[in-house]
């Protein structure tokens, strides 16, 4: 079941939700909720659904959770769960009204392939809503944020006895272009983007087919 398992998420699965709440000062669900408000009604894929943390705020949708790490999926309350990667999804063309993905895109092997797959499985007019972490846009705030995360994240990692894994999280925040550029040349049309959280280091994006 865990052929594509990401060893980091397999290791931290049981402590994942606790540390998320701690690191976001309890705001991580509000950031998800703000994105979910843009989803159309109908069948929704939660891409990289992990432990199913979005489940309580996806009520009213027909939700399929997809994640490569079975250790994460096993903890999920979602009834429809699929072990797979976003870059190659086992779904028919045009089979979802919407795709939601929170705190996943930094972990993907290929954003281009995943966006291509999202376009394929979305119905015409369907929407993808992406929420993820990055760095503030302003260079001074970005520097301060980088400094803060270099200290805070390994410390938080110590609490859950996985400092190395949380150093990876610190590094991953610098991996991608800012949201204002990241999806601009992709296969889906950028409908809107926004920033949330301290210094605007959390972003949301609505992409339309």
Q: Least distance from C-beta 194 to ligand SAM, angstroms?
A: 17
Question: Rounded to whole angstroms, how far apart are CA atoms 156 and 106?
Answer: 19
Which one of residues 39, 67, 118, 129 is an interface residue with ligand SAM (CB under 6 A)? 67
Which one of residues 35, 48, 98, 126 is an interface residue with ligand SAM (CB under 6 A)? 48
Which one of residues 53, 115, 118, 130 is an interface residue with ligand SAM (CB under 6 A)? 53
Q: Does 69 bind ligand SAM (CB under 6 A)?
A: yes
Which one of residues 36, 45, 78, 102 is an interface residue with ligand SAM (CB under 6 A)? 102
Q: Least distance from C-beta 140 to ligand SAM, angstroms?
A: 27
Which residue in 26, 16, 22, 50 sits closest to 156, CA to CA? 22
* DSSP assignment of 145-194: HHHHHHHHHHHHHHHTT-HHHHHHHHHHTTSS--HHHHTTTSSSEEEEEE
Q: Least distance from C-beta 28 to ligand SAM, angstroms?
A: 7
Buried b (16+ CB within 10 A) or exposed e, 66-83: bbbbbbbbbebebeebbb
Q: Least distance from C-beta 71 to ligand SAM, angstroms?
A: 9
Nearer to ligand SAM, 9 or 96 (CB): 9
The alpha-carbon radius of gyration of the chain (Å, integer) is: 16
Residues forming contacts to ligand SAM in the complex (CB under 6 A) are: 6, 9, 47-50, 53-54, 67-69, 72, 85-87, 102-104, 107-109
């Amino acid at each position: 079941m865990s052929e594509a398992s990401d060893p980091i998420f397999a290791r931290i699965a049981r402590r994942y939700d606790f540390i998320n709440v701690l690191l976001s000062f309890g705001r991580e669900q509000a950031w998800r909720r703000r994105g979910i408000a843009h989803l159309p009604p109908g069948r929704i894929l939660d891409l990289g659904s992990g432990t199913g943390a979005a489940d309580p705020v996806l009520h009213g949708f027909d939700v399929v959770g997809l994640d490569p790490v079975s250790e994460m999926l096993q903890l999920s309350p979602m009834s429809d769960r699929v072990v797979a990667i976003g870059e190659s999804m086992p779904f028919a063309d045009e089979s979802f009204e919407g795709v939601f993905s929170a705190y996943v895109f930094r972990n993907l092997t290929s954003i281009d392939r995943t966006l291509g797959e999202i376009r394929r499985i979305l119905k015409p007019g369907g929407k993808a809503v992406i929420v993820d972490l990055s760095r503030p846009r302003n260079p001074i705030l970005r520097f301060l944020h980088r400094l803060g995360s270099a200290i805070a994240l390994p410390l938080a990692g110590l609490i859950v006895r996985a400092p190395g894994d949380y150093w990876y999280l610190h590094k991953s925040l610098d991996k991608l272009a800012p949201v204002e550029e990241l999806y601009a040349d992709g296969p889906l049309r950028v409908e809107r983007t926004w920033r949330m959280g301290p210094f605007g280091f959390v972003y949301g994006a609505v992409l339309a087919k």
